[in-house]
């Protein structure tokens, strides 16, 4: 069973703060890692992907990958109320075409 | 930009009806996927297809079938709808590279009465 664990939240942060979302995975064969954002009633939208250990930055978003410890995280700097959503992590491996998704962490950014 | 479209945004059907959900992608992706999403259960893979006429069962295929006659179109069929199939259904597509990112359609909210 390829498990992906995320804290369901809700994670509440004040506007302007850094939001930190974490995800652990069990499959050591995982090669690619993704973060999706899902607003209520909408479909998931890809916001970040990372393949190598270390940090990857895109605007206010930073993805961090540590394959040895089997975790991936997403940092959102200068959080805005519009960042309030559920964030899903997902990973892919060489053993299949499908991605394995976590159940998501609900983020609430309060003004 | 990748565009994945689904035939209906909302659908209401009666128990026992045969239901067709259609998904079309316009980026020549080889892989297509059907998920359902329920509160507290996350995304669950129903079926996926990695080529025309090819399909693989996902985690919860019971009560569903699929059809992929053309590369751009992937259909999900509920042979005899039941109330426990009330859910949000999401279609996704990706390039053939294993573990590549998936792009989702807007979803179909299906209610079975």
| 3-state SS, one letter per residue, for chain A | CCCEEECCCCEEEECCCCEEEEEEECCCCEEEEEEEEECCCCCCEEEEEECCCEEEEECCEEEEEECCCCEEEEEECCCCHHHCEEEEEEEEECCCCCCEECCCEEEEEEC
Segment A65-106, tens digit of pLDDT: 999 999 999 999 999 999 999 999 999 877 778 889 999 999
Per-residue pLDDT band at B11 (split at 50, 70, 90): very high
Gyration radius (Cα) of chain A, Å: 13
- Decide if B43 and A101 are in contact by the 8 Å CB cutoff: yes
Chain B residues whose beta carbon lies within 8 Å of the beta carbon of residue A2: none
| Chain B contact set for A97 (CB, 8 A) | 31, 48, 50, 56, 94, 96, 98-99
| CA gap B23, A82 in Å, rounded | 29
In tens, the pLDDT along B35-63 reads 999 998 999 999 999 999 999 999 999 99
pLDDT the model gives residue B2: 65
CA distance A109 to chain B (A): 21
pLDDT given at position B95: 86
For range A6-12, the mean pLDDT = 91
CB atoms within 10 A of CB B27: 13
């Amino acid at each position: 069973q390829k498990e992906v664990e995320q804290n369901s939240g809700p994670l509440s942060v004040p506007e302007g703060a850094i939001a930190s979302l974490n995800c652990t995975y069990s499959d050591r064969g995982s090669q690619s890692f993704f973060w999706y954002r899902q607003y209520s009633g909408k479909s998931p939208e890809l916001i970040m992907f990372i393949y190598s250990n270390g940090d990857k930055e895109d605007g206010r978003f930073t993805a961090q990958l540590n394959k040895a410890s089997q975790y991936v995280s997403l940092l959102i700097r200068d959080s805005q109320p519009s960042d309030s959503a559920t964030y899903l992590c997902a990973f892919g491996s060489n053993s299949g075409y499908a991605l394995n998704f976590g159940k998501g962490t609900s983020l609430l950014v309060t003004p | 930009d990748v565009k994945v479209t689904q035939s209906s945004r909302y659908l209401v059907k009666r128990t026992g009806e045969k239901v067709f959900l259609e998904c079309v992608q316009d980026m020549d992706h080889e892989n297509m996927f059907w998920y359902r999403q329920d509160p507290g259960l996350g995304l669950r893979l129903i079926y996926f297809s990695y080529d025309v006429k090819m399909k693989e069962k996902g985690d919860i295929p019971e009560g569903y079938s699929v059809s992929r006659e053309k590369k751009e179109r992937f259909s999900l069929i509920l042979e005899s709808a039941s109330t426990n199939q009330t859910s949000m259904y999401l279609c996704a597509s990706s390039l053939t590279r294993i573990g590549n990112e998936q792009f989702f359609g807007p979803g179909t909210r299906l209610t079975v009465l």
